[in-house]
Amino acid sequence: MAGEGDVKLLGLLVSPFVLRVRMALQMKGVSYEYIEQDILDKGELLLKYNPVHKKVPVLIHNGVPLCESQIILQYINEVWAADPSILPADPYERATARFWAAYVDDKLFPAWLGILKATTEEERAKKVKETLAVVEQLEVALAHCSNGKPFFAGDSVGFLDLVVGCNLLWFEALRRLFGVRFIVAGKTPLLASWAERFRGTDAAREVMPDADKAVEFAKMLMARLGSAPVAS
Ligand SMILES: N[C@@H](CCC(=O)N[C@@H](CS)C(=O)NCC(=O)O)C(=O)O
């Protein structure tokens, strides 16, 4: 079977991109060796297997590296093709899931990362607003994609659920750090109940670390970048 073989994953505990891949591997029941990387002092393995971007995650399947988390998710779905499939069978729905997944990585990740990187309070407030605007758009996307079902993908977690869901760790870390809430039932009710359901899945419970780990990482990153301090 194509899916069998040696699987390694180069990762970082709190990386949302790595988390989505780990959740997909969990859902597919794939065993793998996880190798934590120091992205601030990159090791030989990461440079060898991802010489183009030098980023995690890197999935190494039978010695061959796959890079870029969304591409890795699609690879996992094709190689470990037995149910559950994480991409919709319908071409329009598949294209729509890919469209929103691209939107999440283009808009959501840079917006909330900008909150951490901001060097002034004004800049930070601007990035908070930007993140909220993206979340509001995702409420519309969820209504469209789920069609009244519990997840973006319908009855169970799929590609887009993983791509959005891995950001929940950081939403919680940002709440603990800055007191900001991005998903609130009063404003984005569909996302609020989706987030609760997503956090309760086996994949999320087994893979997501405690948000304190992300808070710790954020503090270290902010100190290195000379970001504006957390207001007390
Ligand atoms: N587009 C990439 C993004 C991966 C990414 O940004 N990974 C971060 C960790 S969260 C990283 O390795 N950063 C190292 C660097 O930027 O040098 C993906 O989807 O895999």
Q: Is the CB of 37 under 6 A from ligand 1?
A: no
Q: Residue ranges of the domains in the chain?
A: 7-79, 91-225
CA–CA dist 55, 42 (Å, integer): 9
Residue where the block lists tokens 């409420």: 139
Residues 104-141: tens digit of each pLDDT: 999 999 999 999 999 999 999 999 999 999 999 999 99
Q: Is the CB of 17 under 6 A from ligand 1?
A: yes
Q: Is the CB of 39 under 6 A from ligand 1?
A: yes
Asked if the domains at 7-79 and 91-225 fall in one CATH topology, the answer is: no
Strand partners, 8: 33, 60
> Which CATH code fits 91-225?
1.20.1050.10
* Element spanning 64, H or E: strand 64-67
CA–CA dist 108, 130 (Å, integer): 8
pTM: 0.97
Q: Is the CB of 177 under 6 A from ligand 1?
A: no
Q: What is the position in ligand 1's atom list of the atom closest to the CA of 70?
A: 19
Residues 83-98: tens digit of each pLDDT: 789 999 999 999 999 9
When the candidates are 3.40.80.10, 1.10.3720.10, 3.90.79.10, 3.40.30.10, the CATH number that belongs to 7-79 is 3.40.30.10
Angle at which helices 189-199 and 121-146 cross, to 10°:
80
Would you give the end-to-end CA distance of the chain in angstroms?
56
